[in-house]
Amino acid sequence: MKKYIIAIVVIAVILVIAVLQKKEPEVEITETEAVNVIKAEYAELYEYPSDMLPPKSIKTEKVGSEWYVAFIQNGSGMPYISARCFKVKNDLSVEETGYFIPEDDSEITFSPVTCNN
């Protein structure tokens, strides 16, 4: 009888520990939230995207739980005039990761993660 009581107590303790250690799942931010938190910190980027001249676009890429966001000025003869890149974490912290200006008008495969081609 003592063995059963000890076993029940041990199981109860294990269950209590498991419940206490269970973490709430981390809610990941959306692409829109990532872009908006950058625009809130950098007012000069509020006008992105835009079809006005020069056209402006936003390119995003998610890696793990972080968003990489590039605010791009597009050219008429060049695919990119410049790009300003950021990383946004789930805690909504923003880090500017780079600035890209292409050296020529050759074909560019641009990535917001590396902020270059």
pLDDT tens-digit readout, 20-39 = 565 555 678 999 999 999 99
CA neighbor of 98 nearest in space, from 79, 78, 74, 117: 117
Q: What is the pLDDT of residues 72-89, one digit of tens each?
A: 998 776 677 889 999 999
pTM above 0.95, yes or no: no
- The DSSP code for 112 is T
Query: Is 59 within 8 Å of 68 (Cβ atoms)?
Result: no
CA neighbor of 69 nearest in space, from 110, 39, 37, 35: 35
Structure tokens given for 103 = 């050296």
Query: Is 70 within 8 Å of 62 (Cβ atoms)?
Result: no
